[in-house]
Amino acid sequence: MAEYRKQLPLITAVDKPFWDAAKRHELLAYCCQNCGTYYSLIVECVQCSTPKMEWVKVSGKGKVFTYTIYHHVYNPLWKDDIPYNAVWVQLDEGLIMMSKIVGAKNEEIYVGMPVEVVYDDITEEVTLPKFKPVG
Amino acid sequence: MSSEDLRDKYAFVGVGVTKQGKIPEMNADDLATQAIQLALEDSGMKKGEVDGYIFQPGAGLSTVTPLHRAGIPAKFHWQMQTGGATAISTVAAAIGTMEAGLCQVCILLYANNASSMRPPAGGATSGTPMAPQPRSTEGAYGIFGPATSAAFMARRYMHLYGLTKRQLGAVAITFREYANKRPEAIMYDRKLTIDDYLNARMIVEPLCLFDCCLVNDGAVALIITSAERAKNYKKRPVYVMGYGLDHSLRELGGAPQDVFEWDGFITQKAGDHAFNMAGVTHNDVDVAEMYDAFTFFCLSQLESYGICKKGEAGAFVEAGNLRLDGEWPSNTSGTQLSWSYLHGFTHLVEGIRQMRGECMECQVKDAEIAMITGVGGLGVGSANACCILRR
């Protein structure tokens, strides 16, 4: 595998289960076992007085919630990718997650586009969940 | 004591604004020192009278150097940072220190030399990381810079309410028209038409260059003291009627979906607190200075503060309602998009000048009450701030 030069995600002890699962090609989300609410980041449930937060497996299916296309080069390592997309996907479980669409042209992306997760093994240690169009 | 007891109890008596723009011959401390001196001159106050100093650390600014160089005998120097909500937060903090008997006259300051630094800080192009690159989940997905959050919000809003690029552009053009009447504005001599806007370089779709604030060097110092003392100085005091802050579990992506609103900042607590403290409503406001780091922020604030209904802000702006003869005259200097980017101090300065009647061609006639807002941006959480001033 050629050396991967772009930034790697920041992985801490707290979100390590998410990245370990991604490496196994599974998608996890933080969910309150008390009320069933899924969260986009690691937070204590605000619905419950006694939250019970756990990582649980999610479907990996959802819709584009919003997106943008980068034209400005913020980072020289992304220069050759311009114009590239970044998205927030709303999973069927309700939470939204930041990601990227693959397998579609920028102009084909729209809010509400049905997508499903795919796994990009960017290094031997790190896998980035991304999304591709379905249907 | 409730916050209503503080209504009109403190007032601004001095405003010092340096040259704005690209000023490579001065560093941020030079600019800050000059702003303090200009504020003292504006008020007719002696430097020995100032005993409090609260500042927002703009790019390149050191903690106490400007204070020492201006010869200010402050008892404390506090650094505050909550993004675009900082300016109004410093007002609340200054009033708190004066209520606590800690000081009697406080300087609030912002200075930076962002545009003379490499890479520049703020605006369309900020967020460019320095090598070596730290690990970052956003960076791993190619997500950089504060404009991105505004772009994500604007795109979602376009989907929900059919906002057009022309409507978004109307924000930029309206503010540029104000700046074209203000000789000290950075964009004073540069006109902006809708064609210029629609053909502009894209930054992060749907935002183009003119949707993003300026990046520039400059400094501002404001002097605030008790209403009683305020009568002793040269300029007509501008009273602080109320202020409010809001920072809940609402950060982009960090919040549960049912409290997370993509189509607007949640400003209700900030607005309610400020207006309750002030004893007025937005119907009493004569002029507004809304945080405008990105055009879209103005639309979301117009709706979240209740000036427009959901989804109507784009048409409201396009119909000319932010102009002097509109329903909600706003951002009368051209503010961050066209006057100068001094974080939330941009708006505080213009609100004070409106209350003093100093805005020349951009003066709202007989304006008595001004609403100032601040948006902490998404990188530091959805910190929102609102402040009501009166003459």
Per-residue pLDDT of chain B (391 residues; tens, 9 = 90+): 788 999 999 999 999 999 999 999 999 999 999 999 999 999 999 999 999 999 999 989 998 999 999 999 999 999 998 889 999 999 999 999 999 999 999 999 999 998 887 655 566 665 555 445 688 899 999 999 888 888 988 998 899 899 999 999 999 999 999 999 999 999 999 999 999 999 999 999 999 999 999 999 999 999 999 999 999 999 999 999 999 998 755 544 445 444 445 555 667 789 999 999 999 999 999 999 999 999 999 998 999 899 999 899 999 999 999 999 999 999 999 999 999 999 999 999 999 999 999 999 999 999 999 999 998 765 545 678 999 999 9
Residue numbers in B near A34 (CB within 8 A): none
CB-based contact B135 A8, cutoff 8 Å:
yes
- Contact at CB, B256 and A99, closer than 8 angstroms: no
Q: Does domain B3-118+217-225 have CATH number 3.40.47.10?
A: yes
Interface test with A, best of B118, B143, B210, B215 (most A CBs within 10 A): B143
- Residue B262 near chain A (CB below 8 Å): yes
Interior/surface letters B354-385, b for 16+ CB within 10 angstroms, e for the rest: bbbeebeebbbeebebbbbbbbbbbeebbbbb
Which residues lie below 8 Å from residue A20, measured CB to CB, with a gap of 6+?
Answer: none
pLDDT of B253 reads 44
Q: Which pLDDT belongs to residue B252?
A: 42
User: Which residues 110-129 of chain A have a CB within 8 Å of chain B?
Assistant: 110-112, 122, 126, 128
Structure confidence at residue B124 (pLDDT): 67
Q: How far is CA B247 from CA B71, B83, B242, B269, B316, in A?
A: 36, 12, 17, 9, 27
In this predicted structure, what is the pLDDT of residue B251? 45
* CB contact at 8 A, B13 and B220: no
The token duo for A62 is 């959802």
C-alpha to C-alpha distance for B145 and A74, rounded to whole angstroms: 7
Task: Say whether residue B128 is in contact with chain A using an 8 A CB cutoff.
Answer: yes
pLDDT reading at A22 higher than 50:
yes
Mutate which of B137, B160, B201, B252 to test chain A, going by most A C-beta atoms within 10 A? B137
CB contact under 8 A, A66 and B152: yes
Q: Shortest CA distance to B217 belongs to which of B354, B63, B71, B34?
A: B34
- Closest residue to A71, CB basis, from B127, B133, B203: B203
With beta carbons under 8 A apart, name residues in chain A contacting B153: 66
Q: In what order do the strands lie in the sheet with B384-390?
A: B77-79, B52-57, B105-113, B217-226, B10-17, B238-246, B384-390, B369-375, B287-289
Amino acid identity, position B321: N
Alpha carbon B344 to its chain centroid, in Å, reads 2
Residue B162, number of CB atoms within 10 A of its CB: 11
Residues 6+ apart with CB under 8 A from A76: none
- For A87, the closest chain B residue by CA position comes to B152
The domains of chain B are located at 3-118+217-225
Residue in A closest to B131 by C-alpha:
A75
Determine, for residues A86 and B255 on separate chains, whether the beta-carbon distance falls below 8 Å. Answer: no
Q: What is the pLDDT of residues A96-116, one digit of tens each?
A: 899 999 999 999 999 999 999
Chain A's closest residue to B151, CA to CA, is: A68
Q: From the list A38, A100, A111, which residue is nearest B142 (CB)?
A: A100
Amino acid occupying residue B159: H
Q: Cis peptide leading into B206, omega within 30 of 0?
A: yes
Q: Which of A43, A68, A81 to mutate to test the interface with B (most CBs of B within 10 A)?
A: A68
CB contact (8 A) between residue B142 and residue A96: no
Query: What is the reported pLDDT for A3?
Result: 85
With beta carbons under 8 A apart, name residues in chain A contacting B155: 66-68, 111
B205 touches chain A (CB under 8 A): yes
Residue B202 bridge partners (DSSP): B208
Q: Which residues of B touch A88 (CB under 8 A)?
A: 152, 253
Q: How many CB pairs under 8 A join A and B?
A: 127
| Nearest CB partner across the interface for B144, out of A10, A69, A75 | A75
**Cβ partners under 8 Å of residue B80, min gap 6:** B54, B55, B56, B86, B89, B90, B93
Chain A interface includes B188 (CB < 8 A): no
What's the pLDDT at B378? 57
The whole-number pLDDT of residue B377 equals 62
Is A82 part of the contact surface with chain B (CB cutoff 8 Å)?
no
Query: How many angstroms separate the CA of residue A21 from the nearest CA in chain B?
Result: 16
Contact A128/B145, CB-based, under 8 Å?
A: no
